[in-house]
């Protein structure tokens, strides 16, 4: 029997890369959750670019959502006759009437860089260069050979929840370097990017013991100005350099330590400093590849995986699992990870490096936290969303003319739904609010913590579902207008539709989650009302091509697209109609069809391997339907094609720095190996043939259970499971059911009995930790 604390698989693990990094987006990552730093460069010059989770540049409009409600009846009439072009024309005309440019996109305020620390050394060579990343901590180091035959290097460390980093410079031989804190000047454009450097004013000052860079902006609108500061301090007086900064003398074998503090004028929220060490080693995946124990560089392992080597393919999944969890923990503080986590090295970030809520955050940055041992990190989402309730009411009123709350598709510094173009009518996507309720309900079910459902959270729940039901009533029991991000029906000019499956599934799930939350609040009558409303929603459809329809009647499928929003009902607790019969087969046809389309050109755009969370959405749906091989294909593609030698992740295969795969890949692996409801759990629900043997530790699930240790090998499965006392109120009195992946007999157990050859049961009087070992 394996106890919860015995034989932790993750202690002291590191990985290393042999590549230098010419750009910040190729660097290695350090993060405290609050402050982020990217270390990049080569021996002659390394740079550490600094950012802060609350420093969003106030460069864009914060105007309230457009007043579209007066023309919505006309829009509905056009869509009812399947004339999406006329509907888009009506909206464009209304936007122009009210002073909006329908061809100009208003972006969210972008996450901005603050300062850059440079370490410059002359006359070095780059032989035997190495970058080492701690998989169980926030530390990174780089080292290289010196002309004297020794080694020199830099180590950067961060403490969870802090706003400072420690930089250590060391050489085995005497040497001299220059240390300079200055502004970030890079404006390498990302996708959909704007150059925001003009909005910031940076000043730099230097003394013998400190260097300071301050960034200030007045903001596009009155009262929105922001300030940020980076302050570098030395333990002893330093010699000024003629080129700026300090001339630092190194004595052989004696490290020089410096501290850089990064602050903003914003409100500080304490983050649990004790989470990091435990969080990063708590859940470890071992598929028997040997990658974690072999002294091979990440470049070697990934090259072997791309050549089809089976052990290396398992190795990249193992390493990406650990690296992805690390990236998310290190970039989640008081606020959740942005598209780029907490890291920024350019004034022209892709998609504003904001919180993109139509899938990136939920299926990317926060996808894994509930399931891989860190559910408390989900509270960062609550802190992001709750402050803007007035904006959500304004959105519902101005866009739809309805009561309640409409959460926008993008967030950073406000909650106004003002991000739209004719071809991207994000303001008509209503899924964000119901999606939020699913994550809230799952947080409570995983942690047992009901205190989060306070008055503010309940007010938000009421507002979201009031709006959802009002939309349904206003559309004549249909969702009209509706939108499936970011796809357009085949042969159509505009993506406005009726009854997008994504909206139907999200509202269905939101009403189910809301009904359960109402029970917690003791409001059973409201819970029954929401359950009845759920049953009145339009149903799922099977399209003419046999796939799960993405839209209502009259809109032709467009399967060849990066999004898979029609599968929303299979991402969490699967919606029962989708789990059996013809609808299940249609969902499987959608998953396999989209994977086949991607496989036709599996490269970054203009190829088809774009948008990592699209793979996560396909993989989660496949895992929840038991399609292990499709889920495995998604996991392998995410790990092999969307992670870099620096163990960062990318939006597209090998391009665009982005954390979506960092959260998505661990979430998918967890779903393949562990399934949970409040009353039952399942082990190896989507176990692929390629993972014949393996082990995973520290997964968390509904019913407030912890899968401390799961091991499997040829026909055998063993598991140690902790039943958290704070979740006893939601677990069935007769004990939780345990579903097995194949017929097997019980060999050994504590607190568990066998029901039949595919089912076990946790005994009602079981101890806090139970154990079972079954074999064919």
Distance of alpha carbon 773 from alpha carbon 9, whole angstroms? 19
Half-sphere exposure of 128 (CA within 13 A, CB side): 10
Helix (H, G, I), strand (E, B) or coil at 683: strand
| Residue whose structure tokens are 């420690």 | 166
Beta strands 737-739 and 680-683, pairing class: parallel
Q: What is the reported pLDDT for 197?
A: 79
pLDDT tens, position by position, 9-49: 445 789 999 999 999 999 999 999 999 999 999 999 999 99
pLDDT tens, position by position, 717-732: 999 999 999 999 999 9
Q: What is the reported pLDDT for 275?
A: 52
Indicate the angle between helix axes 84-97 and 72-80, nearest 10 degrees.
170
Express as a percent the part of the chain with pLDDT over 70.
95
Q: What is the reported pLDDT for 266?
A: 59
pLDDT tens, position by position, 184-196: 988 776 776 677 8
| Residue whose structure tokens are 């904001």 | 354
Q: Any residues with CB less than 8 A from the CB of 306 and at least 6 apart, and which? A: 640
For residue 310, the Cα-to-chain-centroid distance in whole angstroms is 27
**Helix (H), strand (E) at residue 529:** helix 524-535
Q: Are 188 and 348 in contact (CB under 8 A)?
A: yes
Q: What is the reported pLDDT for 278?
A: 63
- Mean pLDDT (whole number) for 313-342: 97
Rg (CA), the chain: 26
Distance of alpha carbon 649 from alpha carbon 658, whole angstroms? 6
Distance of alpha carbon 300 from alpha carbon 645, whole angstroms? 9
- Mean pLDDT (whole number) for 444-462: 97
Distance of alpha carbon 310 from alpha carbon 637, whole angstroms? 13
pLDDT tens, position by position, 219-256: 888 888 899 999 999 999 999 998 899 999 999 999 99
Give me the helices (H) in 194-332, please. 275-282, 298-306, 310-330
Structural tokens at position 731 = 């677990």
Distance of alpha carbon 39 from alpha carbon 47, whole angstroms? 6
Q: What is the reported pLDDT for 314?
A: 97
Q: Is the pLDDT of residue 8 over 50?
A: no
Q: What is the reported pLDDT for 187?
A: 76
- Dihedral of the alpha carbons of 98, 100, 101, 107, in degrees to the nearest 10: -170
**Helix (H), strand (E) at residue 56:** strand 45-56
Confidence class of residue 1 from pLDDT cuts 50, 70 and 90? very low
DSSP string, 343-392: ----SS-GGGG-EETTTHIIIIITSSTTTTT-GGGGHHHHHHHGGGHHHH
Q: Are 679 and 705 in contact (CB under 8 A)?
A: no
Q: What is the DSSP letter of 321?
A: H
DSSP string, 649-674: BEEETTEEE-SHHHHHHHHHHHHHHE
Structural tokens at position 742 = 């194949």
Structural tokens at position 631 = 């889920």
Q: Are 10 and 286 in contact (CB under 8 A)?
A: no
Confidence class of residue 137 from pLDDT cuts 50, 70 and 90? confident
For residue 471, the Cα-to-chain-centroid distance in whole angstroms is 29
What are the C-alpha distances in Å from 301 to residues 134, 311, 607?
A: 17, 9, 24
Give me the helices (H) in 576-719, please. 581-599, 612-624, 628-641, 660-673
Q: Is the pLDDT of residue 2 over 50?
A: no
Q: What is the reported pLDDT for 272?
A: 56
Q: What is the reported pLDDT for 146?
A: 86
Which of 104-108, 136-140, 615-619 holds the top average pLDDT? 615-619
Burial environment of residue 92 by CB neighbours within 10 A (0 to 12, 13 to 18, 19 or more): middle
Greater confidence (437 vs 282) lies with 437
Q: Is the pLDDT of residue 3 over 60?
A: no
Q: What is the reported pLDDT for 9?
A: 45
Q: Is the pLDDT of residue 4 over 60?
A: no
Q: Are 499 and 428 in contact (CB under 8 A)?
A: no
Give all strands (DSSP E) within 551-679, no chain letters. Answer: 650-652, 655-657, 674-676
Greater confidence (295 vs 752) lies with 752
**Helix (H), strand (E) at residue 114:** strand 111-120
Structural tokens at position 245 = 């900064």
Q: Are 301 and 309 in contact (CB under 8 A)?
A: no
Distance of alpha carbon 650 from alpha carbon 343, whole angstroms? 13
- In this structure, what are the phi and psi dihedrals at residue 508, rounded to the nearest 5 degrees? -55, -45
Distance of alpha carbon 196 from alpha carbon 363, whole angstroms? 28
pLDDT tens, position by position, 693-712: 999 999 999 999 999 999 99
Distance of alpha carbon 569 from alpha carbon 58, whole angstroms? 36
| Residue whose structure tokens are 């929401």 | 530
Q: Any residues with CB less than 8 A from the CB of 242 and at least 6 apart, and which? A: none
- Mean pLDDT (whole number) for 741-770: 96
Distance of alpha carbon 627 from alpha carbon 672, whole angstroms? 9
Residue 68 neighbours by CB distance under 10 Å: 23
pLDDT tens, position by position, 552-574: 999 999 999 999 999 999 999 99
pLDDT tens, position by position, 359-384: 999 999 999 999 999 999 999 999 99
Q: Any residues with CB less than 8 A from the CB of 731 and at least 6 apart, and which? A: 678, 679, 703, 704, 723
Confidence class of residue 290 from pLDDT cuts 50, 70 and 90? confident
């Amino acid at each position: 029997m394996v106890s919860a604390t015995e034989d932790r698989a993750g202690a002291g693990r590191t990985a290393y890369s042999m590549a230098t990094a010419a750009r910040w987006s190729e660097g290695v990552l350090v993060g405290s959750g609050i402050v982020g730093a990217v270390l990049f460069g080569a021996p002659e010059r390394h740079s550490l670019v600094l950012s802060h989770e609350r420093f969003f540049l106030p460069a864009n409009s914060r105007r309230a959502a457009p007043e579209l409600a007066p023309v919505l009846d006309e829009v509905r009439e056009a869509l009812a006759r399947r004339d999406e072009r006329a509907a888009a024309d009506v909206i464009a005309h209304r936007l122009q009437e009210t002073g909006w440019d329908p061809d100009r996109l208003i972006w969210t305020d972008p996450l901005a860089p603050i300062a850059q620390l440079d370490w410059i050394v002359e006359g070095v060579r780059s032989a035997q260069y190495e970058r080492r990343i701690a998989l169980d901590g926030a530390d990174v180091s780089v080292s290289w050979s010196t002309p004297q035959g020794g080694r020199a290097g830099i180590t950067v460390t961060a403490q969870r929840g802090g706003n400072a980093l420690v930089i250590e410079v060391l050489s085995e031989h005497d040497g001299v370097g220059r240390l300079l804190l200055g502004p970030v000047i890079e404006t390498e454009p990302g996708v959909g990017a704007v150059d925001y450097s003009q909005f910031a004013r940076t000043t730099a000052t230097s003394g013998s013991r400190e260097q300071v860079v301050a960034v200030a902006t007045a903001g596009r609108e009155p009262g929105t100005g922001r300030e940020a500061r980076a302050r570098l301090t030395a333990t002893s007086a330093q010699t000024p350099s003629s080129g700026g900064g300090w001339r630092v003398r190194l004595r052989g074998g004696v490290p020089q330590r410096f501290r850089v503090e990064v602050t903003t004028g914003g409100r500080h929220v304490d983050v649990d400093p004790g989470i990091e060490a435990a969080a990063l080693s708590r859940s470890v995946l071992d598929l028997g590849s040997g990658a974690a124990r072999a002294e091979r560089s990440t470049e070697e392992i990934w090259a072997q995986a791309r050549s089809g080597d089976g052990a290396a393919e398992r190795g990249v999944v193992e390493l990406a699992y650990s690296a992805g969890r690390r990236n998310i923990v290190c970039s989640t503080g008081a606020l959740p990870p942005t598209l780029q986590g907490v890291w920024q090295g350019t004034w022209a970030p892709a998609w504003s490096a904001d919180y993109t809520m139509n899938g990136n955050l939920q299926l990317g940055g926060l996808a894994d936290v509930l399931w891989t041992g860190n559910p408390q990190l989900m509270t960062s989402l609550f802190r992001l969303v709750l402050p803007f309730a007035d904006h959500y009411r304004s959105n519902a009123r101005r866009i739809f003319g309805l009561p309640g709350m409409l959460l926008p598709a993008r967030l950073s510094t406000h909650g106004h739904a003002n991000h739209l173009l004719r071809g991207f009518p994000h303001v008509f996507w209503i899924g964000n609010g119901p999606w939020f309720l699913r994550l809230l309900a799952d947080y409570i079910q995983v942690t047992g913590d009901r205190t989060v459902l306070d008055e503010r959270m309940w007010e938000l729940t009421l507002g979201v579902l009031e709006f959802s039901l009002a939309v349904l009533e206003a559309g004549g029991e249909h969702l009209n207008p509706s939108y499936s991000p970011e796809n357009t029906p085949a042969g159509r000019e505009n993506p406005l539709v009726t009854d997008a499956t994504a909206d139907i599934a999200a509202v269905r799930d939101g009403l189910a989650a809301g009904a359960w939350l109402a029970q917690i609040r003791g409001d059973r009558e409201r819970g029954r009302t929401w359950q009845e409303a759920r049953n009145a929603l339009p149903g799922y459809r099977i399209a003419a091509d046999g796939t799960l329809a993405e839209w209502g009647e009259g809109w032709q499928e467009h399967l060849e697209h990066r999004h898979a929003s029609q599968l929303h009902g299979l991402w969490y607790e699967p919606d029962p109609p989708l789990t059996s019969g013809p609808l299940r087969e249609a969902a499987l046809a959608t998953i396999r069809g989209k994977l086949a389309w991607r496989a036709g050109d599996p490269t970054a755009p203009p190829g088809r391997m774009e948008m990592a969370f699209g793979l996560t959405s396909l993989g989660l749906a496949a895992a929840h339907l038991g399609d292990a091989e499709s889920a495995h294909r998604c996991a392998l593609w995410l790990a092999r094609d969307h992670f870099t030698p620096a163990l960062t992740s990318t939006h597209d295969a090998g391009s665009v720095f982005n954390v979506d795969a960092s959260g998505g890949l661990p979430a998918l692996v967890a779903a393949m190996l562990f399934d949970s409801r409040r009353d039952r759990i399942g082990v190896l629900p989507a176990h692929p043939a390629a993972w014949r043997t393996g082990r995973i530790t520290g997964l968390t699930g509904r019913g407030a259970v912890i899968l401390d240790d799961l091991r499997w090998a040829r026909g055998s499965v063993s598991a140690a499971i902790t039943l958290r006392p704070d979740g006893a109120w939601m677990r069935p009195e007769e004990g939780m059911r345990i579903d097995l992946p194949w017929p097997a007999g019980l060999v050994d157990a504590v607190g568990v009995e066998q029901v039949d050859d595919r089912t076990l049961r946790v005994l009602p009087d079981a101890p806090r930790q139970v154990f079972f070992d079954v074999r064919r």
